[in-house]
Amino acid sequence: MNTIISVIPVEVFYSIAIFLLLLILQFFLKQAAKRVGERAEINITRTRLMFKYINILIFILAVFLLSIAWGVGWAEFSLIFSSVFAILGVALFAIWSILSNITSGVIMFFSFPYKIGDKIKIHDKDLPVEAIIEDIKAFHLHLRSLDGELITYPNNLILQKAVSLLEKNARLDEGKDAL
């Protein structure tokens, strides 16, 4: 038995420990997001979107920790990540609105006071909107105006504008949750 353990490199044990640690962390993060979703009565589709974000975070942590465990030096590691972040920085600066909408979507998951089916009024001096929230996506809201027009409103703008709740659960389509 000792000969088998001595043949296996120590990096394998570190990798197994990292995977177990990350699985436990992922479980607790998903349970926390699920509890927040249930407590705030958030649509299951939005909760599943948070699960995707948690999976991405765990993957990035796994790459970081496994590269350290397998002996990537800090100099090489910092060179790789600084190059990747420089490229991402330029790319994200070019598409900063997408990043701000995703960030706003995460913020809205935890602290948005309105739910699907609520009738709201957005106080925008250029385009005042009075509509019913049909869906809350990662990048935008789907609003249905009183005339029946579908309006997609960016998440980052909904957090910047004053919003009034006109009627709670004005229209709620049952069975509309996506799987």
Could you tell me the domains of the chain? Answer: 9-94 (no CATH), 114-167 (2.30.30.520)
State the residue for tokens 């991402």: 88
- Give the tokens for residue 4: 């088998």
pTM above 0.85, yes or no: no
Q: How far apart are CA 98 and CA 75, in angstroms?
A: 32
**Half-sphere exposure (CA, 13 Å, Cβ side) for 97?**
5
Percent of the chain with pLDDT over 70: 89
Give 41-53 pLDDT, tens digit per residue.
888 888 888 899 8
pLDDT at 100 over 80: yes
Exposure string for 131-143, b = 16+ CB within 10 A, e = fewer: bbbbbbebebbbb
pLDDT band at 178 (very low <50, low <70, confident <90, very high): very low
Give 54-88 pLDDT, tens digit per residue.
999 999 899 889 988 888 877 887 887 788 888 87
Q: How far apart are CA 84 and CA 88, in angstroms?
A: 6
User: What is the average pLDDT score of the chain?
Assistant: 83
